[in-house]
Amino acid sequence: MIKKGMNILPLPKVIFKHGDQENASQFLGKTAYYSPSDMTVVLYTEGRHPKDIVRSFAHEMVHHIQNLEDRLENISTTNTMEDDNLNDIEREAYTRGNMAFRNWTDSLDGEEVSSLNEDENNLTFYHGGLPIDFTISDIDPFRKAGRQSKKGKDYAGFYMSPDLKPNSFALGYHKNKPGSGLHKIILDKDSKAYEHDGEMERISTLELKSLLNKGYDYIKGKNLFGKPEFILLNKKKATLKLIKPNSIEYKTAIKNIKEEVTSLNEKIVGEKIECDNCGWSWNIVDGGDDLYMCHKCGHDNEPESGDPFGLKAYARELMEDFNIEDIKPATKSLEEQERVRIFNPNCGCDKT
């Protein structure tokens, strides 16, 4: 309120009335009141939602302002029907108090928080890496997945992450594209889900269109790592919202990205990657296109969100710093090369 330029100094004393079950059981029980004589706000908390309590606090704080401005004198009744001045005083408290509370919640969440916002009653998913001004009309539910296109496959779909926890691919995509947005996709609560068997990354464009034609709005399944994953089918049932940087949700997401960095760094020793299956390690610079693939046991150590921290790019930069001729001695002749015994101390195997 001070930041809004409201005159609330000196601050009032605030008393919380906890556990008054008798008052809470009454339909017209007390919720809060302001005492002008000692500048005290009293709040009744039993059985009330925290937001409702804060809303009452904002209302009483407007009465505190009115008291500091000497506008609460000569009021002899609590019935607004009997005193026009009291009616105006209460109208101001309800209007300014509720709007002060609403503005405050908007500043925290980055979006409207009220009974008009029905997000909590619907299905919420997340996606990262999209342009900030991206809209639901820009989404192509049948887009071909870039990673699979490189393999010549017809895998497609607009994938949605169920949360923004560490290792969420939505966070990975957002981290990989500086300046991109972090969005939430909200589906109507009556949206119809198709339960998919098998790996979610193995769905063709034809299958996606077929499921949409059958009346399904989204696909529910698991990714290659056995964790929940979803694919959008019917964008007419969906709303796309940008998570604003000043919101608690966004700040929590950034915190989770940092936790993921810390977790991944524990698997990286200096300029090496360590397989979390067999413990074998290799130099990042030697990883090639399959940077995370262990060539001893075949385990793929790539994070669920792809390469969220740019290790592949880092490996390419490292290679550019080396002169390959300085690393590998020139072979004098094919005959001499055939007599050389090659031993790889990393994997413990040898061959001639």
Q: Which of 301, 313, 298, 300 is nearest to 269 (CA)?
A: 301
Q: What integer pLDDT is reported at residue 285 of this predicted model? A: 53
Q: Which two tokens stand for residue 40?
A: 């005290």
Domain ranges of the chain: 13-109, 119-253, 271-344
| pTM, full prediction | 0.45
Does the pLDDT value for residue 327 go beyond 50?
no
CA–centroid distance for 240 within its chain: 13
Q: Which of 169, 167, 177 is nearest to 132 (CA)?
A: 177
Average pLDDT of every residue of the chain: 76
Under the banding of pLDDT at 50, 70 and 90, the label for residue 350 is: very low
Ranges 2-16, 80-94, 280-294, most confident: 80-94
Alpha-carbon span 234 to 35, nearest angstrom: 56
Does the pLDDT value for residue 324 go beyond 80?
no
Structural domain 13-109, CATH architecture: Orthogonal Bundle (1.10)
**DSSP of 192-216:** PEEEEEEETT--BHHHHHHHHHTT-
Rounded to 5 degrees, what are φ and ψ at 198? Answer: 95, -170
Q: What integer pLDDT is reported at residue 257 of this predicted model? A: 62
Q: What integer pLDDT is reported at residue 351 of this predicted model? A: 41
